[in-house]
Copies of this chain bind each other. A is one copy, B any other.
Amino acid sequence: MSTQDERARQQLIDLAAEFYDQFASGEVPEMTLPTRTKSNIEYDEDSGVWVYGDRTSTRSANSVQGARKLLKATYTIDFLARQLEEGRSSTLRELYYLSESWDADEAAFSSQDESNQLVEDLEIVSEVTREDFHMRPEESGATLMGPLELREQTRRGEREIHCQEDVGEGGYQIPNNPDTIDFLDHDIDFILCVETGGMRDRLVENGFDTDYNALIVHLKGQPARATRRITKRLHDELDLPVVVFTDGDPWSYRIYGSVAYGSIKSAHLSEYLATPEADFVGIQPEDIVEYDLPTDPLADSDVNALESELDDPRFMTDYWEEQIELQLDIGKKAEQQALASRGLDFVTDEYLPTRLDEMGVL
């Protein structure tokens, strides 16, 4: 076992030992967690990310339902500890199905929501991430392209890969747990996270990564944990600026928000996943006006989402208030690829260089 796996295993065993000690000393076993509701999420001004507030909830074995929750927790801990010993991994869905094979019928999960939530609970209580439990997501699939040489520790040995020279046009596929990666060498000036596949391909075709020493990270819509994690590591370890380039609508601003500030669902992981220094490139509502981009009208759901962003601490800056109010005013949204209405090279010859210069990245 690696030191990291050994540590994760130990944290889990300690948790089970706590239940055992509670039993042994005649107490009713219990587990205390931060309350995971929206009202107990706070924006931490210092670190610039979402964190849990002070309220806590207790899972106690003093009811049948509570006892069952702790039973499921111990079976899950046992499974995860063995998985780490054996150097195996599994998906959240496999865990759910696997629970049907456990010898105590009462320990089987009744839905995947229940098993997913338990794994999140264990992440919080043990302070070990799901990735370090070797739990994989169902799909990841985002890619990197740019002047970065890395080493990935795979189950089949080490692989040294240059993310331009050793990959096809599809780029380097980020593994489920990017902490298996070491950064060896690079010529990157900045990290450019891109929402859509169409725009990612445009930038690669136009050679933007080579011309500007950019590492292009494809977000594929709302980014997977692996994508956010590797972005944060690139920023922290290589001291590189991160910029986020999305469509110009409220859902895309949330994509930026999740890269930069974390999400409510994973507030316990903000320090592991979020990059508060990440900046937003566009499409800005002001770009829609300035470049007269082809647009769609805002739907009611878009308007509601923009209004709720005005109340979201992550967007309470002069910049965002101005942009969001402008967008409500013009009543329009635009996609990244709408820049093609000015020609296929406009985004790489004009739009990005201008914006990145304004932002002080170039």
List the interface of chain A (C-beta within 8 A of B). Answer: 88-91, 93-94, 97-98, 100-101, 136-141, 143, 152, 154-156, 159, 161, 164-176, 180, 196-198, 201-202, 205, 207, 210, 220, 294, 335, 337-344
Given known contacts A98-B343, A174-B170, A205 and B159 CB-to-CB distance under 8 angstroms: no
Please give me the residue from chain B that is nearest to A343 by CB atom.
Answer: B101
Q: Which 4 A-B pairs have the closest CB atoms?
A: A170-B173, A139-B197, A94-B340, A91-B198
A98 CB contacts on chain B under 8 angstroms:
340-341, 343-344
A174 CB contacts on chain B under 8 angstroms:
170
Contact of A154 (CB < 8 Å), options: B91, B94, B169:
B169
Please give me the residue from chain B that is nearest to A99 by CB atom.
Answer: B341
Cβ of A90 and Cβ of B168 under 8 Å apart? no
Cβ of A171 and Cβ of B170 under 8 Å apart? no
* A155–B294 alpha-carbon span in the complex (Å): 30
* A198–B97 alpha-carbon span in the complex (Å): 13
Cβ of B201 and Cβ of A136 under 8 Å apart? yes
Contact of A220 (CB < 8 Å), options: B136, B141, B173, B343:
B141
A168 CB, min distance to chain B CBs, angstroms = 4
* A345–B207 alpha-carbon span in the complex (Å): 44
> How many copies make up the complex?
2
Cβ of B159 and Cβ of A337 under 8 Å apart? no
Given known contacts A136-B201, A344-B88, A154 and B141 CB-to-CB distance under 8 angstroms: no
* A202–B341 alpha-carbon span in the complex (Å): 44
Please give me the residue from chain B that is nearest to A91 by CB atom.
Answer: B198
Given known contacts A93-B337, A100-B294, A341-B97, A175 and B170 CB-to-CB distance under 8 angstroms: yes
Contact of A198 (CB < 8 Å), options: B136, B159, B168, B338:
B136
A345 CB, min distance to chain B CBs, angstroms = 9
Given known contacts A168-B152, A168-B173, A175-B170, A341 and B100 CB-to-CB distance under 8 angstroms: yes
A344 CB, min distance to chain B CBs, angstroms = 6
Cβ of B169 and Cβ of A94 under 8 Å apart? no
A220 CB, min distance to chain B CBs, angstroms = 7
Cβ of B220 and Cβ of A201 under 8 Å apart? no
A160 CB, min distance to chain B CBs, angstroms = 10
Contact of A173 (CB < 8 Å), options: B89, B143, B335:
B143
A137 CB, min distance to chain B CBs, angstroms = 8
A89 CB contacts on chain B under 8 angstroms:
201, 205
* 20 more A-B residue pairs beyond the given contacts A98-B340, A170-B174, with a C-beta to C-beta distance below 8 A: A88-B205, A88-B344, A89-B205, A90-B202, A93-B337, A94-B198, A94-B337, A97-B294, A97-B335, A101-B341, A136-B201, A139-B220, A141-B143, A154-B168, A156-B164, A159-B168, A161-B168, A169-B176, A169-B180, A176-B201
Please give me the residue from chain B that is nearest to A101 by CB atom.
Answer: B341
* A310–B199 alpha-carbon span in the complex (Å): 41
Cβ of A97 and Cβ of B141 under 8 Å apart? no
* A165–B173 alpha-carbon span in the complex (Å): 14
